[in-house]
Amino acid sequence: MGLRRNRSVVGRTSKGYVLRLSRDEIDLIVRLLDELRALMLSDDPETAPLMRRLFPPAYHLQDDAEAEAEYQRLMREDLVASHLESIGRVETALNSGEPMNDSTVQGFMQALNGVRLVLGTLLDVSEEHDLTSVRDDHPMAAEHHLYGFLSYLLESTVLAVSR
């Protein structure tokens, strides 16, 4: 799964947006979206820290803990529903092989970014993350490379949409 930096992996056609990915790469994305869905629907407190970048706090101060709890109570369900709807639309499009329309490609970007945020949390990625500094013998080298692939795919999608 090498990065194809010589051409965009997302193209815009008269019928919509197409992914220039292998079937294995598309299957990987579908599997990752499935895993993201499972995390969002999980009530396992051990997975909650992985979701912190996906559902960041609205209130950061210790004095605002009550307001933050109320915000999460009111908004979390709607945010999860929005993410799940996007994931469903994207999975349908990816499995059909049909071009994505504007709404679906927006959902694709949202879903892809969701996977990146969870993976970035797991890897403790920061703004200074440098994929080239991750050695092949690093215990999570594959996850770092997956993060790089997803970042490249998201960037390519943003560029295709903005053209």
Structural domains in the chain, sorted by start: 10-162 (1.20.140)
Contacts of 29 (CB under 8 A, 6+ apart): 21, 94, 112, 153
* Separation of alpha carbons 131 and 123, rounded Å: 12
For residues 58 and 68, the answer to whether their CB atoms sit within 8 Å is yes
Q: What global pTM score does this model have?
A: 0.85
* Separation of alpha carbons 149 and 163, rounded Å: 21
User: pLDDT digits over 112-152, tens only?
Assistant: 999 999 999 999 888 777 777 888 888 888 999 999 999 99
Counted residue by residue, the chain has a size of 163
For residues 10 and 17, the answer to whether their CB atoms sit within 8 Å is yes
